[in-house]
Structure 1
Amino acid sequence: MLWLCLHLPALPLEALGPPPETPLAVHERRGGKRILLAVNEAAVRQRIGPGMTVAAAQGLLPGLRVVERQPRAEKQALQHLADWACQFGSELFFDAPRRLLWLEIGSSLKYFGGLESLLPRLQTSLQGLGYSAGLGVAPTPEAAAWNAQAEDGPILKARDLQERLGYYPLGWLPFPEAVEGLASSGVKTLAELLRLPADGLARRFGPALPDYLQRLLGQRPDARERYQPPKVYRRRMEFLGAIESTEGLLFPIRRALTEFQGYLRARDSAVQHFTFEFEHEGHPRTRMELRLTAPARDAAHFLVVVRERLERLALPAPSLALTLRAERFLVPDLHQGDLFDQRLQQDGEWLGLLEKLQARLGADAIRFLGLRAEHLPERSWHAARQPQPGQAAFPPRPFWLLARPQPLQQPPRLRGRPERIEGGWWDGADAQRDYFLAESDSGSQLWVYRDALNGNWFMHGLWA
């Protein structure tokens, strides 16, 4: 097996939504001190960094905004990041306190074109989601976690683990008390730790430490509960501060839709309907429903439709949070491309145009042709809210059907054999017609019929 680990050092900050342009830091309490865990770029430019105390940082920068770490928000962010990452591997789990996420990539590495293709793709996608991450690859999950923090190249063979990991600092061990005790004894690297007898380590620090080292080196199985994506999708994002404009909502919406796309791809499914809800202080939630003309799962396509809806959405107050929901999943409408036939591309462009018009003008402003169980052409169609597939094969029909058939003095040039259409005898509108394809003197293609009851000719439709 080959494991990929994502190390997210700035997760305490990035889990809180889009970072503000003013200096911001996230802290946690350690003993009696408040220590900075993560800072945004505006704070870094003012020489503020992780590891500083809040008092020291605010002494250097009095205007620094400091917020307390929110473990619940970090766990939710990792969970939704796991939903997104399931498209790259089926075995996956995460550790929220350590800000780590693992997935097994050995079984799917060939599909993604190898590590040289997969790793840059992951890094680019994570940056698009608003996360900064170190990527590590190794035959065991914990070795991949150390490799992700070192970022010094993948470890592909189990026999290379001890040599490659030996120079990594002991500060990465998930046993703070053991790290402090070992450091006081002069043990600073993993190689020095591995030279110590396991029995002595167990007596001094407990059996968990030697057990961890065996799992790290692949000498013992590392059994963990695998993550399973939910059957119903719900993504809630709280903001650091109220967002007043719809334009400002695009960053969290883009992140939510990109995560949603990964979830849909992992399930090999698509949606035709999903909703956004925006929360406000002192006002009911604003609900925005998105309905598509065909099942889809592309985040860029979703964002185009959402942008159109946002432009005409009136928010009663600034937004404090948003929630993306989807409950019904469908088979994706995927087609094999054709080098010489552009109809599929044109169909996709046409559906995209319809969805943009629906988003901009409202769902009630667009109608589609639907069929009715009637024989007479003027009664066999209606204006439908959604496109309806044809249920039968018909002879050629004109695009333009006249509201009332127009009488003809004499029949035009007829082409082909007639098509008999009868109906209406059950409701007093009895009709017996023989329809023909015809051509006018100017070359136009017509749809005409002869009334079998009285012998008169009528034009009922035309193509051009």
Structure 2
Amino acid sequence: MRHARSVQLAVRSPAPQPPPTPSPLDRPAAGRRFLVAHLPCFRLERCGWQADDLAVLVAEEKSALRVQAGTLAAAREGLRRGMTVSEARAMCPDVRVELAEPPEVERADLHDLARLFERLSPNLRALPPQAIAVELTARLKGGEPAALRRARALLEDLGHACRVVIADDIRGALALAAWWPDDAPLRDTLVPPGALAEALAALPVAALGPSPSLLDRLELLGLRRVEDLARLDAASLSGRFGVEGLHLHRLARGVPADDPLDPPPPPGALTLRRQLPDPTADLGAVLHVFTELCERLCVALRAREQAAVRLQLRLTLEDAEPFSLPLRLGTPRRDPRALVDLAHKRLERVKLEGAVEGLTLEVLEACPFLGQQQGLLDRSGAQEPLDELLARLSDALGEAALYCPALEPRHRPELSWAARAPSPRAMRRGSPPLSAPAPRPAMLLREPQPLRVRLGADGRPRAVEVDQHWREARAARGPERLVGEWWTEAAFDRDYFRVELEDGRALWLFHDRVGGDWWLHGLWD
């Protein structure tokens, strides 16, 4: 693979001065050790191929079938990721081609394989697309050399080629395991405690997994190997490259990240946490870490065949109370980009009381993911979808501020409806046809207001006192008698009238037949 070739070239370069030794505060805590097993052919082995078979995995990319992964034999023949199938067959006519399955299927298989490592430790994690990490305990029989042997034996018994590394940090161990010459045997490595910086020094900076934009900037400055990055001053690096650059610098110096492996979450809980190495008030840095959490979260959701409906982002602040940000999605989603865009819009309007020290992302509500059907001729998708609009308004104004009125089976007018959470599906479907015993006003007062009324000879309102002035009634339609709830203390017996005043206003009045008073209950527009 291309990564492995880079390592081979780096190792042959003259050995420079070793990177600075981590300070006592930087040294890893005793007992914190991680085993990482890298499976370079996993994506093809799960399809039945072996490491020595000449085979590649292909998928549609940039309007052509391109190589996504290959066996060790294919790598030795020079087949690389990104090649078209035609280019691969031109270099190696005997190569066999396997179509890639959906990423969530591969991740689920890797997760199932990671479960087998529970015999080594309950704390483990699948590292897609083709690695597994395990946090070791200090009580393993035979120590770390025995753990290396057991991990290799477990994977080889299942037909997987692998390279296993034990070190102080997950990402450091993964870099050592993944960046390996194609033509070299897959040997295991046990990095002594505190020696991670020395082990990583000769690797290219790309082995540490920086984002493409950061990698381009580092290489533009001539920082091509890990030891070059380790020599830089942390303060200047943080100011120029932000939190991600500081993470990489600490790793290059052999400082493990504060990211212990937790036991696999129970089926009903999904909570991810990340502690920052230093407090920051930079929104871009916070969003970078949040993006990592979203990617991990969506991998977990895909493994469960679920999608998120409601989330909560909790920011731990320096010298201030934690800040919680609810995130409601209009439609169930498991796309990291959608989650990041939503959080970005919300955080831009928030003024935090302190620098951010850590992030916690929790799924408050999830549901089975049934896919998203796109319309062939429907152009409404070019506008903001109704689901997303409702979710955004609910987040901005509060859940109680956005509702749809729904009918209730009550005869008392003020209790004949209730506020319901808006349902986009019901709103698109529309309301069923309704029949009312008589017309109802568009505006109903929250509570009936007392009113003075003059009656005519027929017992209907002839004049009404409104705004401290008596107004003549041009017409009075009614009565409509509403009686109910006689079995409770709130029994009512009312005669309702629609009264049209001389100034054009139309009122909905009722006469309380129990108390004898008149009340204003609504207005017609």
TM range (shorter): 0.3 to 0.5
Give the TM-score normalised by structure 1. Answer: 0.45
Give the TM-score normalised by structure 2. Answer: 0.40
